[in-house]
């Protein structure tokens, strides 16, 4: 199950990371697109005021040569601008659309004059110095400002003392009409002293009004070009139709909102799609498992999947379909569980049958001696018989034997219960296996109640020792030897032998009796089992071999059975040698 845990962890982690990465990628692309779009709009709005920073960012200086993108180069040519990149020595290392009268090298005096005047020859100049690179780089953007030139011509031709010449007002208005322009003259206090062709006459300008009109041209209906005569203290404001677009224009805001809505919709759509996919991917298997658990709850352990479900899960070649591949181990585990539950159900039914047989056997085993005791009791109580001493001894012997047999039955029941619940505590010590086996073998040889059975003891060459509780160890061997006596015919030979193998001592109890079939061997150590031979005597509760196995396991050993029908049986105990005898 560790494999499926790792797979699920990886799957959900990867899915979560992929979703986050996808959302971040969409947002990042949207921001890049929005920034790119706004930059383009800014360049379109006024290339001369905002494009130099874009040009410097886009310019690549490599191996002493500067280049810009073809798109910006095209835009510069369309707007009639020229662009130069200078190195530390004043040499031009890159240029676009440069007029012929512009030099390829600049002196210190020329650069200082450009910085002061912001003009060079007939061109207005915007400059920027970049010191981020190892070598300082100087950028020049040149352009002709026709509006400033037109305003300067008007001022030069139609003003006197900073004010319009009255006699030339008709020609001035004619010039303004031809250009579709208007003109205002303001003093130092911002008061309008003259106005020509203005639809709405403004009488007073605040100081920041003029600055705002000069910098934020795109906010107004007209473009204001301003010429200030510092000697005369008058300013001429030349109004022409505005060709610029505002960044905060409604259409741009609308496009931005639409773009954000599209991004949000894409993210929402991706989230819903992933949710639906997850519902099908993980909901299907869960419904499948639920249906199986329902069948299991109703007691149908054998059917994991119905025929319809099986076709849905497996391909024709037997492989699990992609939707259920993540849970292939779970499906396999369900099949194994179903098999185990089905087997457990069969074993439970067999156990119930065996328990009923065992209870019947117990009742029979106890009823037989009790009937004998009860019969003798009635005979003695009636007083109808005159018993001699020998008959009374015989009756007493019978009563004692039956009582002892019943006590042994009760002890076996109690011991089986204790062993089953692991409440038997061993008091182990180092035991000489040869000495203990000799004692047990002699006990059976000298038992006069056992007739027509031959015993043989074959010890190992080396003397083995083991850690054992002598009382329980002897009980285990007694049960095994007595079982061999009880279930074999007369003149059976029982051989007890020992051998040492690696760190184990092997104790073998072998007989040349009737042997056992496979079913008897399989169930030999099961509680309540009495074997399949219906012709032999069935005295006892069927617990002897089960008790022997449990005692062996308490001594950290195990029992092996080898038997061939009509040839005999060998019971082999594998017990650990004492620690000082085990090989290093």
**pLDDT tens per residue, range 127-173:** 988 877 567 899 999 988 777 878 888 888 888 888 888 888 888 88
Average pLDDT over residues 41-54: 60
CA nearest neighbour of 154 among 129, 174, 124, 126: 174
Lookup: tokens for 72: 């910006």
Give the CATH number for residue 195.
Answer: 3.30.450
**Which range has the worst mean pLDDT, 242-256, 318-332, 566-580?**
242-256
* Domain match, 376 and 431 both: no
CA pair distance 455, 434, nearest whole angstrom: 15
Query: Which run of H or E residues covers position 512?
Result: none
CA nearest neighbour of 68 among 45, 38, 98, 41: 98
* Domain match, 491 and 355 both: no
* pLDDT band, residue 39 (cuts 50/70/90): low
Residue bearing tokens 């200078």: 86
* pLDDT band, residue 26 (cuts 50/70/90): confident
* Domain match, 453 and 553 both: yes
**Which range has the worst mean pLDDT, 119-128, 391-400, 528-537?**
528-537
CA pair distance 238, 231, nearest whole angstrom: 19
Give the CATH number for residue 482.
Answer: 3.30.565.10
CA pair distance 160, 102, nearest whole angstrom: 35
The CA-atom distances, in angstroms, between 384 and each of 263, 373, 380, 387, 568 are: 114, 18, 8, 10, 52
Task: Please indicate, yes or no, if residue 473 is contained in any of the structural domains.
Answer: yes
Assess whether pLDDT exceeds 60 at residue 2. Answer: no
pLDDT in tens, 454-478: 999 999 999 999 999 998 898 889 8
Task: Please indicate, yes or no, if residue 512 is contained in any of the structural domains.
Answer: yes
Residue bearing tokens 């003003």: 159
pLDDT of residue 84: 93
Among 127, 144, 161, the domain boundary falls at 144
* Domain match, 132 and 179 both: no
Per the CB < 8 A criterion, the answer to whether 494 and 569 are in contact is no
Average pLDDT over residues 274-296: 72
Average pLDDT over residues 359-365: 67
CA pair distance 577, 413, nearest whole angstrom: 31
* Domain match, 576 and 430 both: yes
* Domain match, 130 and 207 both: no
* Domain match, 443 and 571 both: yes
Task: Please indicate, yes or no, if residue 538 is contained in any of the structural domains.
Answer: yes
pLDDT of residue 107: 93
* Domain match, 428 and 390 both: no
> φ, ψ for residue 263 (rounded to 5)?
-60, -45
Among 243, 272, 289, the domain boundary falls at 243
Give the CATH number for residue 395.
Answer: 1.10.287
pLDDT of residue 362: 67
Burial of residue 320, with CB atoms counted within 10 A of its CB: 0-12 exposed, 13-18 middle, 19 or more buried? middle
- Give the number of other CB atoms < 10 A from CB of residue 447: 12
Assess whether pLDDT exceeds 80 at residue 399. Answer: yes
- Count of residues making up the chain: 584
* Domain match, 575 and 430 both: yes
Per the CB < 8 A criterion, the answer to whether 191 and 204 are in contact is yes
Average pLDDT over residues 542-566: 88
Task: Please indicate, yes or no, if residue 333 is contained in any of the structural domains.
Answer: no
User: 571 Cβ partners below 8 Å, 6+ apart?
Assistant: 480, 484, 508, 509, 510, 559, 560, 561
Coil/strand/helix, residue 60: strand
pLDDT in tens, 50-97: 667 777 878 888 888 999 888 888 888 887 889 999 998 999 999 999
* Domain match, 133 and 231 both: no
Query: Which run of H or E residues covers position 456?
Result: strand 453-458
> For the chain, what is the domain count?
4
The C-alpha R_g of the chain, in whole angstroms, comes to: 56
Q: Mean pLDDT of all residues in the chain?
A: 79
Task: Please indicate, yes or no, if residue 321 is contained in any of the structural domains.
Answer: no
How do 492-501 and 453-458 pair as beta strands?
parallel
* Domain match, 177 and 133 both: no
Per the CB < 8 A criterion, the answer to whether 540 and 365 are in contact is yes
Residue by residue, DSSP assigns 365-389 as HHHHHHHHHHHHHHHHHH------H
Average pLDDT over residues 301-323: 72
pTM of the shown model: 0.39
Per the CB < 8 A criterion, the answer to whether 81 and 143 are in contact is yes
Per the CB < 8 A criterion, the answer to whether 90 and 107 are in contact is yes
Task: Please indicate, yes or no, if residue 250 is contained in any of the structural domains.
Answer: no
Among 112, 144, 176, the domain boundary falls at 144
Task: Please indicate, yes or no, if residue 563 is contained in any of the structural domains.
Answer: yes
Task: Please indicate, yes or no, if residue 297 is contained in any of the structural domains.
Answer: no
Range of the domain at 194: 147-243
* Domain match, 431 and 404 both: no
């Amino acid at each position: 199950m560790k494999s499926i845990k790792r797979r699920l962890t990886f799957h959900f982690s990867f899915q979560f990371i992929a979703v986050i990465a996808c959302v971040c990628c969409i947002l990042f692309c949207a921001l890049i697109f929005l920034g790119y779009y706004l930059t383009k709009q800014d360049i379109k709005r006024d290339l001369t005021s905002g494009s130099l920073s874009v040009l410097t960012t886009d310019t690549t200086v490599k191996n002493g040569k500067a280049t810009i993108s073809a798109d910006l180069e095209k835009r510069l040519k369309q707007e009639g601008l020229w662009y130069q990149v200078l190195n530390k020595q004043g040499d031009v290392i890159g240029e676009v659309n440069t007029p012929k009268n512009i030099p390829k090298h600049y002196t210190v005096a020329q650069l200082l004059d450009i910085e002061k005047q912001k003009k060079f020859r007939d061109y207005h100049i915007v400059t920027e110095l970049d010191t981020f690179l190892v070598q300082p780089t100087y950028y020049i953007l040149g352009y002709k400002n026709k509006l400033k030139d037109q305003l300067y011509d008007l001022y030069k031709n139609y003003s006197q003392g900073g004010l319009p010449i009255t006699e030339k007002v008709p020609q001035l208005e004619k010039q303004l009409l031809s250009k579709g322009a208007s003109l205002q003259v303001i003093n130092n206090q911002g008061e309008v002293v003259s106005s020509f062709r203005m639809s709405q006459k403004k009488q007073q300008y605040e100081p920041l009004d003029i600055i705002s009109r000069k910098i934020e041209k795109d906010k107004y209906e007209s473009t204001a070009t301003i010429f200030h005569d510092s000697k005369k203290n008058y300013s001429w404001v030349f109004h022409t139709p505005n060709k610029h677009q505002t960044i905060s224009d409604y259409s741009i805001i609308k496009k931005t909102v639409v773009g954000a809505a599209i991004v949000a919709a894409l993210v929402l759509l991706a989230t819903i799609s992933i949710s639906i996919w997850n519902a099908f991917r993980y909901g299907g298997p869960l419904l499948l498992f639920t249906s199986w658990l329902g069948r299991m709850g109703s007691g149908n352990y054998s059917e994991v999947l119905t025929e319809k479900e099986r076709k849905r899960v497996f391909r024709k070649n037997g492989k699990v379909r992609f939707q259920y591949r993540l849970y292939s181990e779970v499906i396999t585990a369900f099949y194994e569980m179903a098999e185990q539950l089905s087997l457990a159900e069969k074993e439970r039914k067999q156990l119930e049958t065996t328990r009923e047989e065992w209870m019947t056997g117990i009742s029979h085993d106890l009823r037989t001696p009790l009937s004998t005791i009860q019969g003798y009791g009635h005979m003695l109580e009636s007083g109808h018989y005159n018993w001699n001493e020998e008959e009374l001894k015989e009756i007493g012997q019978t009563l004692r034997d039956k009582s002892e047999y019943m006590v042994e039955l009760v002890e076996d029941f109690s011991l089986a219960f204790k062993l089953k619940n692991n409440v038997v505590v061993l008091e182990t010590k180092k035991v000489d296996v040869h000495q203990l086996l000799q004692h047990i073998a002699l006990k059976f040889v000298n038992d006069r109640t056992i007739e027509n059975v031959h015993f043989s003891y074959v010890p190992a060459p080396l003397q083995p020792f083991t850690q054992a509780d002598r009382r329980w160890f002897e009980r285990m061997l007694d049960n095994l030897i007595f079982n061999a006596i009880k279930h074999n015919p007369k003149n059976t030979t029982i051989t007890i032998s020992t051998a040492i193998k690696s760190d184990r001592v092997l104790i073998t109890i072998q007989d040349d009796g009737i042997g056992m079939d496979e079913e008897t061997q399989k169930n030999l150590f099961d509680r309540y089992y009495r074997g399949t031979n219906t012709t032999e005597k069935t005295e006892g509760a069927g617990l002897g071999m089960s008790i022997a196995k449990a005692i062996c396991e308490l001594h950290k050993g195990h029992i092996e059975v080898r038997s061939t029908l009509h040839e005999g049986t060998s019971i082999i105990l594998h017990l650990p040698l004492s620690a000082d005898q085990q090989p290093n």
